[in-house]
């Protein structure tokens, strides 16, 4: 047993499909990941890769009909086996979550202040103390006129401000782990930079661990200690962010990096990953990425590669050792200038 803060093992999630939900479709299959106290892990994937479902599983936030197997162990406790009260306390005090669209997660007819103090008041803090604490939290996330903002309604705040409010509310109960599901995707780049800087500061000051979900590999790599890449419901690669950028092991990670346009180089043609991303239940025999992979061989279509340890990380690719050091990276520009 490791002493990680969060240990997800062999997580598989299925959703009902077909008439009356008779069939079940996997959306996450066999995911393992761990986060140590105060550590930040980036989880990168395209639509349908299962990254959001994985994050929700950590808090056991499932829509009706969704089934999960495997284990999620948080600070020594098995989340899937928790009683209701224990789960409520976990969600209230230990793990917090922020989302892509803050507007969908805040009551539009109550003031920002009422939203922010709710959790504190419910745990026995007086309204006046709660307001004082929230005002200083707002200052921490860069909102200096906190008392004015608290009297406002959500629609009076911009998306960037509202995301700061969500972050303040998420850290109000001083959690150990923050799950951030694409928190900056809907924001402008300059606001994204600020929000990421705020998260980095909160991590250092509070020792907060972070699971950062994004479709942007470069953003994850620039802001997290390590980065895991998901494809079709499984993790295909995980290693330290710095090394991922220079030495990707999986052709998919490399493809994601080089297919992004570059701020400095103009390419005649962007190197593309052919085809389109698939969900776990659409994957055929063998490696799920093989049909889109420029390096696939007959063996890739026959058996599913397991996630195995390599130097500095893990990768699920039959050809990882042969391809090591040969996959193009964003650093090299990946093409003609």
Partner 1 sequence: MSEPLLKVDDLRKVFPGRRGHDDVVAVDGVSFELAPGESLAIVGESGSGKTTIARMLVGLERPTSGSIAMGGAILDVSSRRAKDRRARARRLQMVFQDPYSSLDRLQTVEQILSDALSLDPDAVRESRAEQVRILLTSVGLHERHSRMRPGGLSGGQRQRVAIARALAVKPDVVVLDEAVAALDVSIQAQVLNLLKEIRETTGTAYLFISHDLAVVNQVSDRCVVMRQGRVVEQGTTAEVLHHPQDSYTQQLRDAVPRPGWSPTRSAEAPR
Residues of this chain that interact with partner 1 (CB under 8 A) are: 46-47, 142-145, 158-161, 164, 188-198, 200-201, 215-219, 221-223, 245, 255-256, 259-264, 266-267, 269-274, 276-277, 292, 330-331
CB of 281 to partner 1, least distance (A): 15
Token reading at 64:
């009706």
CB of 8 to partner 1, least distance (A): 24
- Looking up tokens 């140590």, which residue turns up? 36
Q: Measured from the CB atom, is 15 or 162 closer to partner 1?
A: 162
CA end-to-end distance (rounded Å), the chain = 49
CB of 274 to partner 1, least distance (A): 8
DSSP state of 155: G
Q: Measured from the CB atom, is 2 or 268 closer to partner 1?
A: 268
- Looking up tokens 């049909």, which residue turns up? 291
Token reading at 75:
């600070």
Within 247-302, where are the H helices?
251-259, 298-302
Q: Measured from the CB atom, is 98 or 221 closer to partner 1?
A: 221
CA distance 213 to 57: 13
CB of 72 to partner 1, least distance (A): 27
CB of 249 to partner 1, least distance (A): 17
CA distance 254 to 229: 11
* Angstrom distances, CA of residue 175 to CA of 5, 62, 137, 179, 201: 12, 21, 14, 10, 15
Q: Measured from the CB atom, is 180 or 256 closer to partner 1?
A: 256
Q: Measured from the CB atom, is 6 or 182 closer to partner 1?
A: 182
CA distance 303 to 216: 29
CB of 296 to partner 1, least distance (A): 15
Q: Are 232 and 279 in contact (CB under 8 A)?
A: yes
Q: Measured from the CB atom, is 22 or 263 closer to partner 1?
A: 263
CB of 83 to partner 1, least distance (A): 40
Q: Measured from the CB atom, is 93 or 267 closer to partner 1?
A: 267
CB of 220 to partner 1, least distance (A): 9
Q: Measured from the CB atom, is 77 or 266 closer to partner 1?
A: 266
SS3 content of the chain, % helix, strand, coil (to 5): 40, 20, 40
Neighbouring-strand partners of residue 119: none
Strands, sheet with 95-98, edge to edge from the N-terminal-most edge strand: 95-98, 177-181, 209-214, 40-44, 226-231, 234-240, 313-315, 308-310
């Amino acid at each position: 047993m490791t002493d990680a803060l969060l240990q997800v093992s062999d997580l598989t999630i299925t959703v009902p499909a077909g008439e009356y939900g008779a069939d079940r479709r996997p959306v996450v299959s066999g995911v393992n990941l761990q986060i140590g106290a105060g550590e930040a892990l980036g989880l990168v994937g395209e639509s349908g890769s299962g990254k959001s479902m994985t994050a929700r599983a950590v808090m056991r936030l499932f829509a009706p009909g969704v089934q999960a197997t495997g284990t999620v162990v948080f600070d020594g406790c098995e989340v899937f086996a928790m009683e209701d009260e224990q789960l409520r306390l976990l969600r209230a005090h230990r793990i917090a979550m922020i989302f892509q669209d803050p507007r969908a997660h805040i009551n539009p007819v109550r003031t920002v202040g009422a939203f922010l103090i709710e959790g504190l008041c419910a745990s026995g803090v007086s309204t006046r103390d709660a307001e004082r604490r929230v005002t200083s939290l707002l200052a921490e996330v860069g909102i200096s006129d906190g008392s004015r903002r608290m009297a406002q309604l959500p629609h009076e705040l911009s998306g960037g401000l509202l995301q700061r409010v969500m972050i303040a509310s998420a850290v109000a109960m001083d959690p150990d782990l923050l799950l951030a599901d694409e928190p900056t995707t809907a924001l402008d780049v300059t606001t994204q930079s600020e929000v990421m800087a705020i998260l980095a500061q909160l991590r250092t000051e509070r020792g907060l661990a972070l699971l950062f979900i994004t479709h942007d590999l470069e953003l994850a790599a620039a802001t997290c200690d390590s980065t895991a890449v998901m494809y079709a419901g499984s993790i295909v690669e995980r290693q330290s962010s710095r090394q991922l950028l220079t030495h990707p092991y999986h052709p998919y990670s490399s493809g994601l990096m080089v297919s992004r346009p570059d701020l400095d180089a103009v390419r005649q043609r962007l190197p593309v990953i052919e085809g389109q991303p698939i969900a776990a239940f659409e994957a055929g025999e063998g490696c799920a990425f093989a049909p889109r992979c420029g390096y696939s061989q007959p063996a890739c279509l026959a058996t599913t590669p397991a996630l195995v340890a390599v130097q500095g990380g893990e990768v699920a690719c039959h050809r990882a050792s042969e391809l090591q050091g040969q996959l193009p990276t964003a650093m090299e520009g990946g093409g003609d200038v």
